């Protein structure tokens, strides 16, 4: 008999190939079933984010040093005709807009070199529920902190989710974000200097190493800004609201490593 737990564990463990045939090929012994059995199961069962969490919560090691990572993916359905949940949206896999099914994913990890476990997801369906991907981001984060009771302090995500509303939301929850921002965002280092684009800031050796305390436009609190090199060798502008530790100030190397940590789920 095929179970939901087997299917969720397969989704967690597999990379790249999510077909019923591939799953059947990896089940043997008492667990062995045909791909038709799996297809029939998927037709009759309703797989929900709650079901994913029921499995994942037994696997994760949570704590204040753990991470929550947000990313979205698009299941490419460019050849589909009249398929539900298919919308034109940007896909990082093809670096352009495609017709596909969008999924906002929330992943938990206890730290570098540790396992990554998906713990929640939302299907992007603005016509069905009226919610944007930003709404799903906040809904899942709130659920993770309240209902799931997760203690992970650091939230990682890319500039797509680095809206002022999301940054304020994380700050109000008492969590720390580390995220990239686009170069056209405006910041201020003093009232006298006013707001300028990131590329126009005056950098020196100290600020390159320890970052620069800036006020992002429309954000009511200051963040520390760093310039780092991404895993793709691009230059990233990275901000965080993590408070300074007088005993060990944050460095660009620290932030570069944590920013790169997010790329494990890209």
pLDDT, tens digit, 9 for 90 and up, residues 127-177:
999 999 999 999 999 999 999 999 999 999 999 999 999 999 999 999 999
Q: Are residues 128 and 214 in the same domain?
A: no
Whether 58 and 72 map to the same domain: the answer is yes
Residues 105 and 92 reside in one and the same domain: yes
Kindly list the distances between the CA atom of residue 102 and the CA atoms of 10, 29, 59, 156, 212, in Å, as whole numbers in the listed order: 20, 36, 26, 19, 35
Mean pLDDT of 108-113: 85
Q: What is the pLDDT of residue 92?
A: 78
Predicted pLDDT of residue 112: 73
pLDDT for residue 211 is more than 80: yes
Tokens of 187: 């910041």
What is the rounded average pLDDT of the residues 45-52? Answer: 86
Number of domains in the chain: 3
Same domain, 32 and 60: no
117 with 203, same domain: the answer is no
Q: Which domain holds residue 31?
A: 1-47
Task: Report the largest interatomic distance among the alpha carbons of the chain, rounded to a whole angstrom.
Answer: 72
Can you tell me the distance from the alpha carbon of 266 to that of 257, in angstroms, rounded to the nearest whole number?
Answer: 15
Strands 222-229 and 87-91: unpaired
pLDDT of 225-248, one tens digit each? 999 887 777 789 999 999 988 888
pTM of the model: 0.83
Please indicate, yes or no, if residue 159 is contained in any of the structural domains. Answer: no
Helix (H/G/I), strand (E/B), else coil: 124 = coil
- 57 lies in the same domain as 33: no
Q: Are residues 78 and 131 in the same domain?
A: yes
Confidence of residue 103 (pLDDT cuts 50, 70, 90): very high
* Within a domain: 34: yes
- Pair (13, 68) in one structural domain: no
Domain boundary residue among 152, 181, 209? 152
Instruction: Report if residue 157 sits inside a domain.
Output: no
Residues 181 and 263 in one domain: yes
Same domain, 140 and 177: no
Contact 133, 102 (CB under 8 A): yes
> How would you label 143-169 residue by residue, b for 16+ Cβ within 10 Å and e otherwise?
bbbeebebebebbbbbbbbbeeebbeb
Q: Cα(152)–Cα(170) distance, rounded to whole angstroms?
A: 12
Considering 152, 185, 220, which residue would you say is the last residue of a domain? Answer: 152
Length of the chain in terms of residues written: 266
Burial class (CB in 10 A: 0-12, 13-18, 19+), 67: buried
């Amino acid at each position: 008999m095929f179970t939901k737990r087997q299917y969720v564990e397969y989704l967690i463990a597999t990379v790249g190939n999510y077909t019923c045939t591939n799953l059947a090929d990896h089940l043997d012994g008492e667990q062995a079933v045909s791909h038709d059995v799996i297809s029939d199961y998927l037709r009759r069962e309703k797989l929900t984010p709650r079901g994913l969490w029921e499995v994942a919560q037994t696997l994760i090691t949570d704590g204040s040093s753990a991470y929550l990572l947000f990313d979205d993916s698009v299941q490419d359905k460019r050849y589909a005709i009249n398929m539900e949940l298919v919308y034109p949206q940007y896909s990082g896999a093809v670096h352009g807009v495609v017709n596909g099914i969008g999924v906002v994913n929330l992943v938990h990890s206890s730290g570098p070199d540790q396992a990554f476990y998906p713990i929640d997801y939302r299907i992007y369906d603005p016509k069905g529920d009226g919610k944007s991907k930003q709404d799903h981001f906040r809904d899942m984060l709130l659920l993770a902190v309240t209902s799931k009771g997760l203690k992970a302090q650091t939230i990682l995500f890319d500039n797509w989710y680095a809206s002022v509303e999301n940054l304020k939301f994380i700050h109000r929850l008492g969590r720390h974000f580390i995220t990239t921002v686009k170069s056209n965002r405006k910041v201020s280092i003093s009232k006298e200097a006013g707001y300028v684009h990131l590329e126009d800031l005056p950098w020196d050796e100290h600020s390159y190493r320890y970052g620069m305390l800036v006020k992002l436009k429309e954000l009511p609190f200051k963040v520390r800004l760093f310039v780092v090199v991404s895993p793709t060798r691009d230059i990233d502008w990275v901000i965080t609201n993590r408070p300074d530790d007088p005993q060990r100030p944050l460095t660009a190397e620290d932030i570069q490593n944590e920013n790169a940590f997010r790329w494990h789920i890209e």
